[in-house]
Amino acid sequence: RKIIKNRGHFPNDAAAVKLLWLAICNIEDKRARERQRYIDDPLATGDRSRHTRLVEGARTNGWKQALGSLVLNYPERINPYL
Q: 7: closest CA among 17, 63, 61, 31?
A: 17
Domain spans of the chain, in order of start: 2-81
Beta strands in 1-82 (DSSP E): none
CB atoms within 10 A of CB 16: 19
Q: What is the pLDDT along the chain (82 residues), one digit of tens a residue?
A: 566 666 666 778 787 788 888 887 777 777 777 777 777 765 655 554 454 454 555 566 777 888 888 888 888 888 888 7
